[in-house]
């Protein structure tokens, strides 16, 4: 899987082609409106481009993938939206298993490697996002803290109270962190490390973007960060730097899917097609700081910091299968510190 991601990044970084019009630019579905769940940044700009290309309008609700899954379960079959855009793949795997998703194999998905899509078409990977440490240089200097280089470093007592992470029961990003740590350290040692890390975390935020935002403002020294959040804060001039852990960092797939019984099925399919097209992938990369899954899509300059990171793509199926047991244990042992 690491070789596949490396090849994908290399192909994206070196390939260039001119602008490509979206295949459905005839706007046959213009005037329709779809409702979608979204777990991503930069979404207003992306949806504006989609509407410009297709004439389809979008109403959306932005929430973490774990929250979407909770809502779907609570609705007990009631259709809440037409499509689901981005977030943690583990929640999509569970949603497919529980009958919340409609299988759809987009013609655009032919360009996407098999490792990034469900073989039955329940979800298709839009992008891959990595996790890094977003570190406030001023806080580190003021408190005399050494620059962490690894996950092991974050478990050291000198960082007590200086690390923030979001609630992995809600955030797909941080569930991928737990899964990754258990995979690289082993079951027993992984949980031992998670306990050490917890000792340095004063509380768990509700949203995945909160730890990097709070680190950028100097409220803590280190935020465990979905790279798409931190890279924008660096661009905006905050006194923060990005560090990828030496042991490797999880690269989690952010998918797209159609909801079971979608009221606007054809428009939802057009949305998936656009998002998986070369045009759609390039629009997303310009605004979400996640590397697209199509090797023929051009990667913007600001994303090229990912090239040197040791990224381990999370096994979507195994991650989804283990989600329930991992989250139940985490909530039992550490969930009392989670924001409500």
Within this chain, do residues 332 and 259 fall inside the same structural domain, yes or no?
no
5 belongs to a structural domain: no
Residue for token pair 């497919």: 96
Domain that holds residue 236: 130-250+318-337
Say if residue 122 is in the same domain as residue 182: no
Nearest alpha carbon to residue 276 among 294, 250, 290, 298:
294
On whether both 178 and 259 belong to a single domain, the answer is no
Q: Are residues 95 and 135 in the same domain?
A: no
- Would you say residue 8 lies in a domain? no
**Mean pLDDT, contiguous 10-residue spans, the chain (340 residues):** 45 38 66 92 89 96 89 92 92 94 97 92 92 96 97 97 95 90 94 97 92 96 88 90 91 92 96 96 86 88 72 84 94 92
Question: Crossing angle of helices 265-276/43-54, nearest 10°?
Answer: 110
Which candidate, 289, 152, 271, 193, places its Cα nearest to that of 233?
289
pLDDT at site 251: 83
Q: Are residues 45 and 185 in the same domain?
A: no
Q: Are residues 301 and 170 in the same domain?
A: no
Are residues 124 and 135 both part of a single domain?
Answer: no
User: Both 196 and 283 in a single domain?
Assistant: no
pLDDT value at position 13?
39
Strand ranges for 186-283 from DSSP E: 204-205, 222-226, 240-243, 249-259
> How far is 191 from 45, CA to CA, in rounded Å?
40
Domain-located, residue 3: no
Question: What pLDDT score does 225 carry?
Answer: 87
CATH label of the domain that carries residue 294? 3.40.190.10
Give a yes or no: residue 231 inside a domain: yes
Distance CA 101, CA 98 (A): 8
For residue 93, being part of any structural domain is answered with yes
Q: How many domains does the chain have?
A: 2
Query: Is 70 inside any structural domain?
Result: yes
Per the listing, tokens 């005399």 go with 144
Q: Which residues pair with 242 in a beta bridge?
A: 134
Whether residues 150 and 237 fall in one domain: yes
120 and 134, same domain (yes or no): no
Whether 185 and 52 map to the same domain: the answer is: no
Q: How far is CA 289 from the centre of its chain?
A: 10
Q: Is residue 7 included in any domain, yes or no?
A: no
* Predicted model pTM: 0.73
Whether residue 271 lies inside any domain: the answer is yes
Residues 278 and 322 in one domain: no
């Amino acid at each position: 899987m690491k070789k596949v991601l490396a090849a994908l990044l290399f192909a994206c970084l070196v390939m260039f082609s001119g602008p490509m019009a979206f295949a459905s630019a005839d706007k046959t579905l213009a005037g329709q409106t779809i409702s979608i769940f979204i777990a991503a940044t930069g979404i207003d700009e992306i949806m504006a481009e989609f509407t410009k290309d297709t004439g389809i309008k979008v109403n959306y609700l932005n929430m973490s993938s774990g929250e979407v899954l909770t809502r779907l379960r609570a609705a007990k079959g009631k259709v809440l939206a037409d499509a689901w855009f981005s977030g943690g793949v583990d929640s999509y795997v569970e949603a497919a298993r529980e009958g919340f998703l409609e299988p759809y194999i987009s013609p655009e998905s032919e360009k996407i490697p098999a490792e990034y899509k469900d073989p039955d078409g329940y979800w298709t990977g839009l992008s891959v996002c990595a996790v890094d440490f977003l570190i406030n240089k001023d806080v580190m200097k003021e408190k005399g803290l050494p620059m962490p280089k690894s996950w092991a470093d974050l478990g050291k007592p000198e960082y007590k109270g200086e690390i923030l992470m979001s609630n992995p029961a809600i955030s797909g990003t941080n569930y991928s962190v737990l899964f990754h740590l258990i995979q690289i350290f082993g079951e027993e040692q992984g949980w031992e490390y998670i306990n050490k890390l917890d000792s340095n975390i004063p509380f768990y935020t509700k949203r995945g973007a909160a730890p990097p935002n709070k680190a950028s403002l100097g409220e803590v020294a280190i935020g465990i960060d979905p790279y798409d959040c931190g890279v924008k804060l660096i661009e905006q001039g905050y006194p923060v730097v990005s560090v990828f852990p030496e042991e490797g960092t999880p690269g989690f797939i952010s998918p797209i899917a159609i909801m079971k019984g979608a009221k606007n099925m054809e428009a939802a399919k057009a949305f998936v097609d656009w998002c998986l097209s070369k045009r759609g992938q390039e629009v997303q990369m310009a605004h979400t700081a996640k590397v697209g899954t199509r090797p023929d899509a051009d990667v913007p300059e600001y994303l090229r910091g990912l090239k040197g990171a040791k990224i381990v793509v999370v096994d979507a199926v195994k991650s989804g299968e283990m989600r329930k047991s991992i989250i139940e244990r985490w909530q039992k042992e550490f969930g009392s510190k989670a924001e409500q």
